[in-house]
Amino acid sequence: MKHELDRILQTLCQALPEATGAVVASSEGLVVASYPEDLEPTRVAVMAALAHELGQRVASTLSQGNFHEATVCGEQGCVSLYSIDGGVLLAVQLPAGVNLGLVHLEARSSAYRIRQALRPSSPGF
């Protein structure tokens, strides 16, 4: 499974050459997978978990349903966060000025593939 997640993250970062990295993390802030290797995945995972918790609270308080995604942009870049089944998150780091529409398109597709990779396989009969 980890190999599959690494491959999905690598494919995502190749599809978005502006991306500086991507992390799959638990909602508790634990790293599940990351790309590239020189990224600080632990810091990204913890921040993603905090942003996810805040996003959940905002969505709930404002009666918007379950949290799905959020993007936080600063002067030097953005982080887009996507909720995946079972308390798993995808965080993608990007430079300032990136085309967020393209980022969302690629990242949502990757989130779907991650969701599929994390699903337990059914026993064969």
CATH of the domain at 107: 3.30.450.30
Quote the longest CA-to-CA distance of the chain. 55
- Residues whose CB is less than 8 angstroms from the CB of residue 53 and which lie 6 or more positions away in sequence, other chains included: 27
**Residue keyed to tokens 């398109």:** 105
Q: Is residue 124 part of a domain?
A: no
| Residue 57 domain-assigned (yes or no) | yes
Tell me whether residue 13 is in a domain.
Answer: yes
- Say whether pLDDT at 25 is over 70: yes
Query: Is residue 13 scored above 50 in pLDDT?
Result: yes
Does residue 22 lie in a domain region? yes
Q: Please report the pLDDT score of residue 10 as a whole number.
A: 95
Helix (H) or strand (E) holding 73: strand 69-74
| 75 inside domain | yes
**DSSP secondary-structure letter at 119?**
S
Residue 123 lies inside a defined structural domain of this protein: no
Above 90 in pLDDT, residue 121? no
Q: What are the pLDDT digits (tens) for 49-108?
A: 999 999 999 999 999 999 999 999 999 999 999 999 878 999 999 999 999 999 999 999
pTM of the model: 0.90
Number of structural domains in the chain: 1
* pLDDT attached to residue 125: 46
Domain that holds residue 104: 2-118
Contact between residue 79 and residue 94 where contact means Cβ atoms under 8 Å apart: yes
